[in-house]
Chains A and B, each alone.
Chain A
Amino acid sequence: MLSLIGILIVVVGFMARMNPLLVVTVAALVTGVAGGMGLVEVVETFGKAFEENRYVSVIWIVLPVIGLLERAGLQERAKTLIGQIHAATTGRLLLLYFVLRQATAALGLTSLGGHAQMVRPLIAPMAEAAAETHHGPLDDDTRHSIRAHTAAVDNIALFFGEDIFIAIASILLIKGFLEQNGILVEPLQLSVWAIPTAFCALAIHGTRLMLLDRHLARTLAQAR
């Protein structure tokens, strides 16, 4: 039970807005010692796990090319393109991206989106431009809220699309875990039951995106 102290450290540290790197490291060291490891052993476990998870940070290699294209006006071009399409509102644009992202993820094509390579250079500037076309200049709060919604669409569409694909990590994890407990299921049986939730996600978040357009119209009309 003593090992749960790490969770407490994380919760308190995050709420107190301390530097998360510091919070996580202290939590790891304390948890290890509380769980009966020696200090050297904890540092070794932490170092080994950090080293084995380097693949998580490989994605940053995309930054030079994204930065280079931004320098040449990629975001501005994306904005111009969307500004020319009058039917494109922020909500409709994000709904279209949601459907594309969810459908491609359901086919296992999870690498077609992503925050560094799609959201920042293309989708977020387009969503902002669509709002500017319809409602005029944006204040900072509105601009940031639109950006946050763009990131949210990428996440939600990915999470509730990918499980429909039979060879995705989470499906294989469920199958493996049930197998260890003597229950055999086929990946297809699992992925079929991800479909109802996928439709719920589309319905719920799609409705919210349509309401976002109305919310933008209301708040930005008041501001003027």
Chain B
Amino acid sequence: MIGLEVLYVIGGAFFAAIAVLSARDASNPKRWKNTAFWGLFAVSFLFGSHLPDFVNGLVVIAMVLTAGFGGLGQGLPATTGPEERRESAARLGNRLFLPALAIPITALAGTFLFKRPELAGLVDPKQATLVSLILGVFVALTIAMPMLRARPITPLQEGRRLLDTVGWAAVLPQMLAALGAVFAAAGVGTAIGQIASEWLPNGSQLAAVVAYTFGMAIFTMIMGNAFAAFPVMTAGIGLPLIVLRFGGDPAIMGAIGMLSGFCGTLMTPMAANFNIVPAALLELKDRNGVIRAQMPTAILLLLANTALMYVLVFRF
């Protein structure tokens, strides 16, 4: 059955190729750091499931020590210049969109197809979307390679060009997910829940709603993830106050509470895959540029959620 393990082997092979190509790129002054970083990441992808936890931990720490001081370098893989690209775009026209759109279309079709009972044994149904997305990459390559008459090494070199612009930030989301697990194991959530319930406003319905929606947003900003904040805040404030004391509707509380947490996600560098990675991918000067663009909407929407919850939760 095709599941995560197959994707990890493909990913590991890609990162290993990046490591090798980085080592051969003399234009990058830090090429050995890039080689070590992506090589270690390849080890984690290829062998992580079989290595002891302690060794996996040491691999991560070695990666952090490699990139943490002075960062990684940027290679100069041979690519096309602006003039060549304009000519190529004019020559190929809208055919260029075909491989690009093949990725989401395959992802979409696969998500439905692989969940059908006849095909259930082929792909792990829990990973159907991710498997389909990566399948889409191969469909796109199959269309694009002959169309562009590209050499087999070219996509890997172009992939390295993009991965080098993202740099170490590419690993940050996974790292933050691991931090969340350590926080949970060390009891950070329970400690925050205690603090929240200790200085809780005793009085009004409005105070309870405000404490819950703003608490969700703020705790999400700290953890980088509304999923981590929801159980803590709902056990600390939502259930005891809004539902049990004031008789609010638990479904409305849960739904709007989670969406208040999402407002927090828009405002924190801890949600790296949504905020920091795109800033790197779009080559923004300001690492927090995406957060800045989202901030006004996030704050207004948090106020809207608070108002919605106050108006709706005690009525149904």
Chain A positions within 8 Å of B, measured between CB atoms, are 1, 3-4, 6-7, 10-11, 14, 19-22, 24-25, 27-28, 31-32, 34-37, 40, 42-78, 80-81, 109-113, 115-122, 124, 140, 144-145, 147-152, 154-156, 159-160, 163, 169-171, 173-175, 177-178, 181, 183, 185, 189-194, 196-197, 200-201, 204-205, 208
| Cross-chain contact of B282 among A28, A40, A147, A177 (Cβ < 8 A) | A147
Contacting residues, chain A, for B32 (C-beta < 8 A): none
Flag if A148 contacts B305 (CB, 8 Å).
no
| Mask: chain B, 245-278; 1 = CB below 8 Å from A; 0 = not | 0000011101111110010011001101111111
Flag if A28 contacts B304 (CB, 8 Å).
no
Residue B312 at the chain A interface, CB threshold 8 Å: yes
Flag if B301 contacts A77 (CB, 8 Å).
no
Residue B96 at the chain A interface, CB threshold 8 Å: yes
Flag if B104 contacts A24 (CB, 8 Å).
no
Q: Given the complex of chains A and B, what is the CA–CA distance between A6 and B273 in angstroms?
A: 21
| Cross-chain contact of B89 among A19, A34, A72, A196 (Cβ < 8 A) | A72
Q: Given the complex of chains A and B, what is the CA–CA distance between A66 and B89 in angstroms?
A: 15
Q: Given the complex of chains A and B, what is the CA–CA distance between A51 and B59 in angstroms?
A: 10
Q: Given the complex of chains A and B, what is the CA–CA distance between A27 and B179 in angstroms?
A: 8
Q: Given the complex of chains A and B, what is the CA–CA distance between A66 and B281 in angstroms?
A: 12
Instruction: Tell me what chain A mostly uses at the interface: helix, strand, loop, or mixed.
Output: helix
Flag if A35 contacts B154 (CB, 8 Å).
no
- Can you list 13 residue pairs at the A/B interface with Cβ under 8 Å? A4-B191, A31-B186, A47-B59, A72-B89, A75-B85, A76-B88, A120-B281, A144-B282, A148-B289, A174-B230, A178-B250, A178-B254, A200-B308
User: Chain A: which residue is nearest B182 at the CB level?
Assistant: A28
New A-B pairs, 14, CB < 8 Å, besides A67-B160, A152-B297:
A3-B183, A22-B69, A24-B172, A35-B187, A54-B174, A56-B173, A58-B8, A72-B144, A75-B85, A109-B111, A145-B293, A148-B289, A183-B250, A200-B304
Flag if B44 contacts A50 (CB, 8 Å).
yes
| Mask: chain B, 199-236; 1 = CB below 8 Å from A; 0 = not | 00000000000000000000000100011001100110
How many pairs of A and B residues are in contact by the CB < 8 Å rule? Answer: 417
Residue among B4, B160, B170, B175 with max Cβ neighbours from chain A (10 Å): B175
User: Chain B: which residue is nearest A15 at the CB level?
Assistant: B269
Residue B181 at the chain A interface, CB threshold 8 Å: yes
Flag if A64 contacts B284 (CB, 8 Å).
no
Q: Given the complex of chains A and B, what is the CA–CA distance between A197 and B14 in angstroms?
A: 40
Flag if B301 contacts A61 (CB, 8 Å).
no
Q: Given the complex of chains A and B, what is the CA–CA distance between A37 and B138 in angstroms?
A: 44
| Mask: chain B, 83-101; 1 = CB below 8 Å from A; 0 = not | 0111111101110110110
User: Chain B: which residue is nearest A79 at the CB level?
Assistant: B89
Contacting residues, chain B, for A35 (C-beta < 8 A): 185-188
Contacting residues, chain A, for B186 (C-beta < 8 A): 3, 6, 31-32, 34-37
Flag if A67 contacts B155 (CB, 8 Å).
yes
| Cross-chain contact of B188 among A4, A47, A57 (Cβ < 8 A) | A4
Flag if A31 contacts B68 (CB, 8 Å).
no
Flag if B254 contacts A76 (CB, 8 Å).
no
The total of chain B residues at the interface (CB under 8 A) is 147
Known: A163-B258, A191-B255. A64 touches B293 (CB 8 A): no
Q: Given the complex of chains A and B, what is the CA–CA distance between A115 and B250 in angstroms?
A: 34
Q: Given the complex of chains A and B, what is the CA–CA distance between A55 and B85 in angstroms?
A: 33
Flag if A169 contacts B227 (CB, 8 Å).
yes
| Cross-chain contact of B255 among A75, A177, A193 (Cβ < 8 A) | A193
Flag if A51 contacts B56 (CB, 8 Å).
yes
Q: Which of B297-316 contact A (CB under 8 A)?
A: 297, 300-301, 304-305, 308, 312
User: Chain B: which residue is nearest A201 at the CB level?
Assistant: B301
| Mask: chain B, 52-86; 1 = CB below 8 Å from A; 0 = not | 11111111110110011101000000011010111
Flag if B58 contacts A47 (CB, 8 Å).
yes
The smallest C-beta distance from A206 to any residue of chain B, in angstroms, reads 10
Contacting residues, chain A, for B254 (C-beta < 8 A): 174-175, 177-178, 185, 190
Flag if A69 contacts B179 (CB, 8 Å).
no
Q: Given the complex of chains A and B, what is the CA–CA distance between A7 and B182 in angstroms?
A: 12
Flag if A24 contacts B284 (CB, 8 Å).
no
Residue among B99, B161, B192, B301 with max Cβ neighbours from chain A (10 Å): B301
Flag if B44 contacts A112 (CB, 8 Å).
no
